A and B are shown apart, each in its own frame.
Chain A
Amino acid sequence: MSSMKHDDTSVPEYWRSLDELADSDDFRTFVENEFPASADQMLTPASRRNFLKLMGASMALAGMTACRWPSEEILPFSERPEGFVPGTPRHFATAMQISGVASGVVVSSYDGRPVKIEGNELHPDSLGSTGLLAQASLLELYDPDRSDHVCRKGTDGVETSEWAAFDAFADEHFAAQAANGGRELRVLAGADGSPTLQRMRRHFAERFPAAAWVEYEAISRDNIRQGGRLAFGRDLRPHWALDHASVIVSFDDDFLAQHPNAVRYARDFVAGRKTDDDHHDAFNRLYVVEGCHTMTGSVADRRIPVDTHSIAAYVGCVAAHLFLEAGLQLPAGVGSLRQTLEGFRSHALYASIDASLIVDLMAHRGASLLAVGPGQPAEIHALVGVLNMALGNIGKTLTFTAESDANRPHHVDAIAGLVEEMQSGQVDTLVILEGNPLYDAPADLNFASALEKVGTVIRAGRYVDETSAVADWHLPLAHYLETWGDARGYRGTYSVTQPLIDPLRNGRSAIEILATLVGEATGGYDAVKSTFAQQIGDEAWRGALHDGLVRDSELATTQPGQLADGWVSSLSSFATAAEAGYRVVFLTDARVRDGRFANNGWLQEVPDSVTKLTWDNAALVGVATAKAIGVKHGQMLRVEHGGHSLELPVYILPGQAPETIGVALGYGRRHGGQIATDAGFDAYPLRTREAMAWAAVQVQPMAGSFKLATTQNHWAIDPIGTDTTEERVPILVHEIDIKDLHGGHDDHGEGGGGHGSHEVNLWQPHEYEGYKWGMTIDLNDCTGCNVCIVACQSENNIPVVGRDEVIRGREMHWIRVDRYFQGDADAPSISFQPVTCHHCENAPCEQVCPVAATVHDAEGLNVMVYNRCIGTRYCANNCPYKVRRFNYFNNHLDQSPMETMIYNPQVSKRSRGVMEKCTFCTQRIAAAKITAGNEDRKIRDGEVVPACAQACPTRAITFGDLNDEGSRVLAKQKDPRAYAMLEELNVRPRLRYLSRVRNPGHSEAGHGAGEA
């Protein structure tokens, strides 16, 4: 340690006046750290004196800077836009597109920055709700990892460039391409339903007639389209009316999570499951036949685990039962099917087909719906199309529209064709719009080596990811909230997407980039407006911007046409028993999808519906399978297919079929942001052209283990604890069979009525005469999708804590969805229960706070006053529902100004050492009270909608004033199915649950769906 030196230039005056405390470099570093953790290193053993000097100095100095209250500036507009009121949000309608399908959203914007995304009530696919990806898309807008400049690969490596440089290059380069008709030009893009992009593509085809546009999606639904081609000879898109279906059968279709129209279908699905007297007799029944335990399977009334690779055979057996035994008429045009189906009689699964499935389908013709997942082969889709036709569903629960891009090649074939051309040197220029083929193209195509043979690779993407890292040009793509565009909903609803903010990262939209290539000097706004004028008409423009859609712009349904039977003979290949051996099924994760959202912290931290895994994927293996392979939960497993191997941890998931190992795609990224590269294991190397849905694998247990971050099962529990848990779960989560629900009443006594505790109160109960806020969560409607968690996180400025903290149980979500298994370990059922703060009238947390930081207000809300909290955590200790979250760290430190733009200004940001919890969105209640007060009236029912309730696709959460006679929440709390969780504790919660109702029926024939 150097002796103390005087250094006149850098020591501030203040120091010199105290006893010659000089600044050595060590000292300066020391003072900069708030915690002098490195003090020991700087001190020699003999300088206790120096240590005291340093400690004294830092304490005095550090305190001063922290206490200063900065003077704030107010910067009003120079010219305030008309109608702009500072401090109040403005709402703009736009739409978010994922793989060609748009969902309508309404975005709240404060002072020109979007802070919250909600559903668009006018949009038929949204009805006011949102999906998980739409809620979380806001975080991507403010992601500092998004690329913000054009990159160019020069001779010295990658260098920063500018749009002007690219424009100049493109001018010249594409003029040269146009000269030979674009013969060596290819575009690889994802699915895009934007009418303006389609128009640009036509101009592109005019300028480059010999060029090819290749569409590829890693998560493809093309098998469905292919099935339609086989069966009807046309490219058709199926549409469901689930609210008219009494029997819904899903063969490996996780439609509640994965379907492009999942939000709408979830709403329709639960519409057929109402238990009030008006609807009681029409309760639908959902069968799910699947290999992996999915969200849809959790909601099923009857779940039948069958290995994913055997589901094709299962469908064949079901068809055989229906046509050959049950007497279902074969429709015209597929007479040869009868012969082929005979082959299924000898299949092992034939005898074990669920008899009630057959009975129900026959009993509810015209009111059923059979669905097949996009991973199953096209022939099975065709077969199910035939089944739906035979059962009379077409025109009733199932309708079709014609796909606009008929005869487009299958995604996998398209990219394989492109790679072949690239390998043979036919491609000079490849433009990649958004997709990430170096990460998610089928592994056996070896896209990377093919790419080396391409002269110029231009990639437009939001991140410098695996593909951009090797491209010659990387162009930053703008976020949908930053640009003009348009999109179509699943049913064809035309939406204009308008920007909420100027591009934050110097990006351009795909439309604008394509315009540059085509040589048109048009901006996004002009292009979109011009398309709109052509297709809809100028006079509807303002209305479309206001509504977020063009009303009644859904595509007309079409009759599917005549059945063809050329494909029938290939069905027999499914009738032979599959080879024994494990298959890895490539799951689409609801959060990262194909990997494009991997850098989104909210999505990484929201738990998976069924596994409750965060931050990683794992090999999902059934209980018996794990034993057979010889692996434990968390143990590393090596999986090999086609010369590639993957090592990843095992997650033992009850309900997995015996030979099915589920692995989610979209993890294990190598580039693309700090969060993306930290999460999970890349399953794409196992995925080959012939094995896009599942791959036959060799498995081998490895020695190591991996700590999986799950939000349930935080701490291992001993066998006694497990037994007690099993005993208690039915008390927490009430489920009832519909046959026991007579006239809406639950005779078993477990479900119902909310009798209220008979305990004596220690305090005089408070009379709530004003507003009396209450909430109900209908477990019958909850599908476990977890969108409420992300909506709450977005609304309330809840931080992301990261994997290590989740392992310690410190995730910050104010609402969580608990998941319980029940029944046989090989085929259990799953129940979901969202849990928020119950706002107990007799709150145990309020009684123990030493500083009265958590108090009760006159309307029944349990209020959390952050600035008073000193962090004793006694309240969390006392909470029986364990809904209180503690800020162990200052999670909002070190954020760039752009990252801080995402915060909702109506909610405080919490610092380290402060407890937080669900507030029933007190900021929304306050806003409604002020608005209502200013208008001299009371708050109407439905005016206050907490973030979770607003996002929920099935409207499972209801909130309102219990003192309002006509409020929906009061009606729900009076429902016979209503109960309070842990009622016996006498905490008098304001949150009630409504029992889940299942309709499994009986295995013997005689009871159809919906009968009590």
Chain B
Amino acid sequence: MSNQKSPLIFPPWLDAIRPVVGAVAFGVVPVYLVLLVWFGASPKTTDVGYQPEQPVPYSHAVHAGELGIDCRYCHSTVEESAHASIPPTSTCMNCHSAIHTESEKLEPVRASYESGLPVHWIRVHDLPDYAYFNHSAHVRRGVGCVSCHGRIDTMEVVQQDQPLSMGWCLDCHRNPAPNLRPLDKITDMTWKAGSEEEQRQLQESLGVEASEDCSTCHR
């Protein structure tokens, strides 16, 4: 090329690669940005499969599965309160003051019991702050633990089994029958629903009219 200073800012060879630049700018870049936000900015903590590591390697598979402890033994306020509530350390110590008293895995639990300070559990099932979910209303009306939390009794480490999104909630609220069970089967992880007719009858006998009003959850 000539050594004179060109009045043009952009060198001529840019013309040649203009179609490629166009494709990247209008094709690749938007797709990249969308994927960047989708995967980079969306939180992992509300996804199915979210399985945070807990301070104590508590295994539901052992306690709820093998030993058959009812969910409500620990999550004792599920029928009275909005929260099922993580049990206090004293509940663990009900057994573990006599069982596996020297186990290393239970060290944080013993430390908590001695000091009076809580164990820092990581929350698995989380909803946005503006959505108010009430456990007692569901559990008392025939929604089983497994419907939303999955087969906890087979989980070594708890993971989120269902999306817990508003659309997912509405799917049940619009048609609750398939997800209802008799009140004595709430914590039964293996109970299966009956025929459509049985489901319909069950819904009627439980008196379930699942509200689709926004005010049900949004306050």
Question: Which residues of A are in contact with B by a Cβ distance under 8 Å?
Answer: 63-64, 67-80, 85-88, 855, 857-859, 861, 863, 865-867, 906-909, 919, 922-923, 925-926, 930, 933-934
Contacts and interface: CB of A to CB of B under 8 A. Distances in A.
Contacts of A861: 215
Nearest to A924: B219
A78 B86 contact: no
Contacts of B37: 63, 67
Contact of A867 (B42, B112, B115, B218): B218
Nearest to B141: A933
A77 B89 contact: yes
A477 B122 CA distance: 39
Contacts of A67: 37, 41-43
Contacts of B45: 69-72
A73 B55 CA distance: 11
B175 interface: no
Given A73-B123, A77-B88, A86-B85, 16 more contacts: A64-B41, A73-B122, A74-B121, A76-B87, A78-B113, A88-B80, A855-B214, A861-B215, A863-B214, A907-B219, A908-B218, A926-B215, A926-B216, A930-B136, A930-B137, A933-B137
Contact of B117 (A78, A909, A923, A933): A78
B27 interface: no
20 contacts: A67-B42, A67-B43, A68-B41, A68-B43, A69-B44, A79-B89, A79-B116, A80-B90, A85-B80, A87-B82, A87-B83, A855-B213, A859-B215, A863-B214, A908-B218, A922-B215, A926-B132, A926-B134, A930-B137, A934-B80
A930 B218 CA distance: 15
A73 B120 contact: yes
A108 B81 CA distance: 16
A87 B211 CA distance: 22
A934 B137 contact: yes
Nearest to A853: B214
Given A80-B88, A85-B77, A934-B136, A75 B120 contact: yes
B66 interface: no
Contacts of B119: 75-76, 78
Nearest to B219: A923
Contacts of A923: 132, 219
A857 B118 contact: no
Interface in B21-51: 37, 40-46
Contacts of A85: 77, 80-81, 85
Contacts of A925: 215
A591 B17 CA distance: 73
B140 interface: yes
Contacts of A88: 80-82
Given A78-B112, A80-B90, A858 B211 contact: yes
Interface in B58-110: 77, 79-83, 85-90
A71 B51 CA distance: 11
Interface residues on B, range: 35 or more
B138 to A, nearest CB: 10
Nearest to B212: A858
B121 A78 contact: no
B161 to A, nearest CB: 18
Contacts of A934: 79-80, 136-137, 140
A363 to B, nearest CB: 54
A69 B46 contact: yes
B150 interface: no
Contacts of B129: 908-909
B78 to A, nearest CB: 10
Nearest to A71: B45
B215 A857 contact: yes
B182 interface: no
Contacts of A857: 211, 213-216
A71 B118 contact: no
B130 interface: yes
B88 A79 contact: yes
Nearest to B74: A76
A576 to B, nearest CB: 64
B176 interface: no
Contacts of A907: 219
CB-based closest 6 A-B pairs: A69-B43, A857-B213, A67-B41, A75-B118, A80-B88, A77-B88
A923 B219 CA distance: 6
B52 interface: yes
A908 B130 contact: yes
B25 to A, nearest CB: 14
A923 B130 CA distance: 12
Contacts of B136: 930, 934
Contact of A72 (B117, B123, B140): B123
B214 to A, nearest CB: 5
A925 B213 CA distance: 13
A78 B52 contact: no
A861 B79 CA distance: 27
B115 A78 contact: yes
Contacts of A906: 132, 219
Contacts of A908: 129-130, 218-219
B11 interface: no
B80 A79 contact: no
B123 A71 contact: yes
B152 to A, nearest CB: 16
B93 to A, nearest CB: 9
A86 B77 contact: yes
B214 A865 contact: yes
Contacts of B218: 863, 865-867, 908
B126 interface: yes
B140 A933 contact: yes
A78 B116 contact: yes
Given A75-B121, A87-B82, A930-B136, A922 B219 contact: yes
Nearest to A770: B209
Given A71-B123, A77-B88, A85-B80, A863 B215 contact: yes
Contacts of B7: none
Nearest to B139: A934
B91 to A, nearest CB: 8
A866 B116 CA distance: 39
A365 B120 CA distance: 72
B128 interface: yes
B85 A76 contact: yes
Contacts of B44: 69
A906 B132 CA distance: 8
Contacts of B132: 906, 923, 926
Contacts of B113: 78-79
A867 B128 contact: yes
Nearest to A81: B88
Contacts of A863: 213-215, 218
Nearest to B121: A74
Contacts of B89: 76-79
Contacts of A858: 211, 213
A71 B45 CA distance: 6
Contacts of B118: 75-78
A76 B122 contact: no
A536 to B, nearest CB: 35
Contact of A930 (B43, B123, B126, B134): B134
B207 to A, nearest CB: 8
Nearest to A936: B207
A925 B218 CA distance: 12
Contact of A76 (B41, B52, B88, B213): B88
A612 B101 CA distance: 67
Contacts of B211: 857-858
A76 B137 CA distance: 22
A923 B120 CA distance: 29
Contacts of B90: 77-80
Contacts of B121: 73-76
A982 B80 CA distance: 43
Contacts of B77: 85-87
A519 to B, nearest CB: 34
Interface in B181-219: 211, 213-216, 218-219
